[in-house]
């Protein structure tokens, strides 16, 4: 197998640069020639890049091969790591020889035309490790993005079909009302799109194609907004000892601005926060960048399992059933990390406090699990193994 790879991440954000760097180092360790950038190239730029660096394979986060047809024309192998759907439907995730999914649920809803598999993030244990001398200074911390609150110009966007029109705010209200009656775990991405189409048909007489930003707002943004505001509200009822880090959008939520402490732009500051916090809050996909970094740092992970999370018992795929995967596949809930629902928070919190006497033993167990299966080197070995199929 030839060993030249070009890696592209969507943006030059600190986060993308950090993960890009970890992957680059790991591929170099495995004897690869590595090129790449923290941006996605257009067709002309990609053509020039391929002529200069001559990669055998292109690895991109959040772009699939059908979105850059030049790679088909030139016969370049492509790996896509889909971390964010970005308003796309499952049917648009196609074309790559290898498609990795960030969410363990997505694998069973994609028909990519190639090899498709869940690939959770890894961790750099040189950057995230435990310091036993760190003193707990804060009850709760949260690291993560929150969307900007709805603005008038967004709510007043018009959706038209022939003589009829509605505002985006009308569609939003109907969609939120519908989803409040059902569980998100029963709705994959395509089912949510069907709900939107049904509402549009009712209001306009026919389902119309929405812009990408409207799909993103409905399919991703509102869930992230509701999950994170509910999580923070719930914690604030029990403690005001809270630090929030992430995008500056937190400042525009009047209720949370005073808890916002800025954007963490280096791994050491993040590692220190994980250890200094009694409980590190997490929501969404259980096996996440911040959750594995927290565990590697010896922090106590407190995961809001909003919909049953990764832990559905099984999912039907044709005539088969496939067990669900996630954090619980590798770590023991309520021992290596803590997961809670609203009704179980107080009991889980009490359990977590009582477990503090076993910290040294438990941390060693977590360290052993991570070193054996969840470093970035482990992820790169998996990618190389999969590449040998082609």
Lowest-confidence range among 85-99, 226-240, 356-370?
A: 356-370
Q: Do 258 and 168 fall into the same domain?
A: no
Weakest-pLDDT range from 46-55, 138-147, 174-183, 257-266: 174-183
Summarize the confidence of residues 325-346 as an average pLDDT: 93
Give the CATH number of the domain where residue 361 resides: 3.40.50.2000
Structure tokens at 333: 């809930």
DSSP string, 310-343: T--SEEEETTEEEE--SGGGTS-BTTTBEEE-GG
Q: Quick one: pLDDT at residue 358?
A: 64
- pLDDT at position 311 is 42
143 & 281 share domain:
yes
Given 199, 220, 241, the domain boundary residue is 220
Does 292 lie in the same domain as 273? yes
Residue 129 lies in a domain: no
Q: What are phi and psi of 166, to 5 degrees?
A: -135, 165
User: What's the pLDDT tens digit per position in 162-184?
Assistant: 999 999 999 999 999 998 887 55
Residue 151 has pLDDT above 50, yes or no: yes
pLDDT of 185 over the 60 cut: no
Q: What is the mean pLDDT of the chain?
A: 91
Domain that holds residue 66: 4-122+382-387
**Does any domain span residue 241?**
yes
Is 293 a domain residue?
yes
Residue 235 within a domain = yes
In this prediction, residue 318 has a pLDDT band, given cuts at 50, 70 and 90, of: very low
* One domain, residues 266 and 215: no
pTM of the full predicted structure? 0.90
Same domain, 104 and 163: no
* Residue 268: its H or E element: helix 267-276
Mean pLDDT along residues 226-247: 94
- Rounded Cα–Cα distance for residues 101 and 215 (Å): 20
CATH (domain of 102): 3.40.50.2300
Give the Å distances, CA to CA, from 280 to 297, 303, 363: 11, 8, 15
Residues 143 and 169 in one domain: no
In-domain check, residue 54: yes
Asked if residue 131 belongs to a domain, the reply is: no
Write the DSSP assignment of 173-206 as a string of letters. HHHHHHHTTS-GGG--HHHHHHHHHHHHHHHHSS
What is the C-alpha separation between 167 and 156, in angstroms, rounded? 5
Pair 110, 248 in one domain: no
236/366 same-domain check: yes
Residue 79 sits in the same domain as residue 201: no
pLDDT in tens, 79-113: 999 999 887 888 999 999 999 999 998 988 899 99
Structural domain tally of the chain?
A: 3
Half-sphere exposure of 7 toward its Cβ, with a 13 Å CA cutoff?
23
Which of 100, 90, 64, 40 has its CA nearest to residue 219?
A: 90
């Amino acid at each position: 197998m030839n060993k030249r790879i070009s890696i592209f991440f969507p943006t030059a954000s600190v986060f993308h640069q950090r993960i890009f760097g970890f992957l680059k180092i790991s591929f170099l360790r495995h004897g690869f020639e590595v090129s790449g950038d923290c941006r996605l190239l257009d067709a002309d730029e990609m053509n020039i890049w391929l002529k200069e660096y001559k990669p055998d394979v292109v690895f991109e986060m959040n772009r699939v091969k059908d979105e850059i047809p030049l790679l088909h024309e030139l016969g370049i192998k492509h790996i896509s790591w889909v971390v964010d759907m970005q308003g796309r439907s499952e049917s648009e995730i196609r074309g790559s020889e290898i498609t990795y999914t960030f969410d363990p649920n997505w694998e069973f809803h994609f028909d990519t035309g190639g090899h498709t598999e869940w690939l959770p993030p890894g961790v750099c244990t040189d950057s995230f490790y435990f310091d036993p001398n760190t003193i707990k200074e804060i009850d709760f911390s949260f690291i993560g993005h929150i969307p900007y609150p709805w603005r008038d110009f967004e709510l007043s966007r018009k959706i038209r079909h022939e003589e009829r029109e509605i505002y985006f705010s009308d569609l939003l209200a109907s969609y939120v009302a519908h989803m409040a009656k059902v569980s998100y775990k029963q709705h994959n991405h395509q089912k949510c799109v069907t709900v939107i189409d049904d509402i549009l048909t009712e209001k306009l007489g026919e389902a119309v194609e929405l812009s990408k930003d409207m799909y993103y707002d409905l399919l991703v943004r509102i869930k992230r907004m509701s999950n994170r505001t509910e999580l923070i509200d719930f914690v604030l009822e029990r403690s005001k000892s809270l630090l929030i880090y992430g995008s500056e959008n937190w400042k525009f939520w009047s209720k949370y601005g005073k808890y916002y402490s800025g954007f963490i732009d280096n791994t050491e500051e993040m590692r220190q926060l994980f250890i200094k916090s009694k409980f590190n809050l997490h929501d969404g996909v259980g096996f996440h960048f911040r959750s594995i970094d927290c565990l590697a740092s010896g922090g106590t992970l407190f995961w809001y399992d909003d919909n049953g999370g990764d832990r559905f018992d099984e999912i039907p795929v044709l005539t088969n059933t496939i067990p669900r995967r996630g954090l619980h596949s590798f770590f023991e809930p309520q021992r290596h990390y803590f997961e809670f629902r609203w009704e179980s928070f107080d009991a889980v919190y009490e359990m977590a406090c009582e477990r503090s006497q076993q910290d040294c033993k438990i941390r060693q167990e977590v360290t052993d699990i991570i070193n054996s299966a969840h470093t970035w080197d482990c992820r790169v070995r998996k990618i190389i193994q999969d590449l040998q199929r082609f």
